[in-house]
Amino acid sequence: NPTPQEFVAVDDTFGESATPTQLMEKYNINDVAVVTAVMNVLKRK
């Protein structure tokens, strides 16, 4: 059986300097993005 998965990753782009929190927010890899990805996977099960 295939395992459902979602990716939480930085798109192919040049990085910038900022605090870790600001970078996670900018590149959408913060806690909200992780929870959203998990919820999307659980909906597909």
Three-state DSSP class for residue 22: helix
4-41 burial code (b ≥16 CB/10 A, e <16): eeeeeeeeeeeeeeeeeeeebeebeebeebeeeeeeee
The confidence score (pLDDT) of residue 15 equals 83
Q: Is this model's pTM higher than 0.85 or not?
A: no
Give per-residue pLDDT as tens, 1-45. 889 999 999 989 998 999 999 999 999 999 999 999 999 999 987
The pLDDT assigned to 27 comes to 93
Domain borders along the chain are: 18-45
pLDDT (0 to 100) of residue 2: 87
Contact (Cβ atoms closer than 8 angstroms) between residue 6 and residue 29: no
